[in-house]
Amino acid sequence: MKVMLLADVRDQGKKGDVVNVSDGYARNFLFPRKLAAELDAKLLAELQAKEEAKQRRIAQEKQAARELAEKLSAVTVKIHISAGGDGRLYGAVTSKDIAEALAAQHGIEIDRRKLQLDAGIKAYGTYAVEVKLYPEISGKINVVVCN
């Protein structure tokens, strides 16, 4: 019997999965505990509608990420920070600093965890920082650290 799981069931699957189980297991265990529902035409149509909506949402998110990547390629962020006599900064420019400067200068809100910065920037100069916008979509912004 094909059923859709309404909750995670050990050794069967996760919520929303369609699994094939024996009739007795479904009638005596899954249905009384409201862990599953029998797969009928109505439930199958709901599943298809949810999947289509999910695919549309993913496509919209990917398109928005591509547009943001294009926009970010032309962006240069300037960060002013003081340094010691030997040219080394008193601290380091972190992804948090870059995200805040990007929001203040260009009005683009990006989560600091999406900025791929190996270590903090500790010297003056121009740096290219990668921004991971979506699993396979990334962009680059130029960061200028100056006095």
The string of pLDDT tens digits covering residues 16-61 is 888 999 999 999 999 999 999 988 888 889 888 988 999 999 999 9
Cα separation, 16 vs 19, in Å, equals 9
pLDDT of res. 92: 85
Domain limits at 88?
A: 69-146
The verdict on 57 and 75 lying in the same domain is no
Question: Which residues have a Cβ under 8 Å from the Cβ of 26 and sit 6 or more positions away?
Answer: 1, 3, 36, 38
The verdict on 81 and 95 lying in the same domain is yes
Given 20, 35, 64, the domain boundary residue is: 64
Tokens at 136, concatenated = 């396979």
φ and ψ of 136, to 5 deg: -115, 10
Give the closest residue to 110 by CA, choosing from 60, 146, 143, 69: 69
Given 40, 64, 88, the domain boundary residue is: 64
The verdict on 75 and 46 lying in the same domain is no
- Residue range 97-144, pLDDT digits in tens: 899 999 999 888 888 899 988 887 888 889 999 999 888 888 999 999
Could you give the number of structural domains in the chain?
Answer: 2
In our burial notation (b when 16+ CB lie closer than 10 A, e otherwise), range 23-53 reads eeebeeebeeeebbeebeeeeeeeeeeeeee
The verdict on 56 and 117 lying in the same domain is no
The CATH number assigned to the domain holding 22 equals 3.40.5.10
Give the closest residue to 67 by CA, choosing from 133, 128, 3: 133
